[in-house]
Amino acid sequence: MKEAKKQGGLNAEIQSRIGHQLRAMYDDVVRQGVPDRFAELIRKLDVPEATPQLGNAGDKNDGGE
């Protein structure tokens, strides 16, 4: 005898409800904005450094002395 396979997944109504709830939660997070300390870190990362650090990696401590 062959057993009937159960169909997995969610119906369209359930998917729609989950989508509405996720959008509501996401909108709330977006409205909170970026904390000042994160915005300041991002600003610092956007500013190019005056002296490039490339090539200086082995100068300070090469482990040989």
pLDDT tens, per residue, the chain with 65 residues? 555 555 668 899 999 999 999 999 999 888 988 899 999 999 999 888 766 566 555 555 555 55
Q: CA 50 to CA 15: how far, in whole Å?
A: 52
- The pLDDT value recorded for residue 34 is 87
* Contact between 29 and 21 (Cβ < 8 Å): no
Contacts of 18 (CB under 8 A, 6+ apart): 10
pTM exceeding the 0.85 threshold for the entire prediction = no
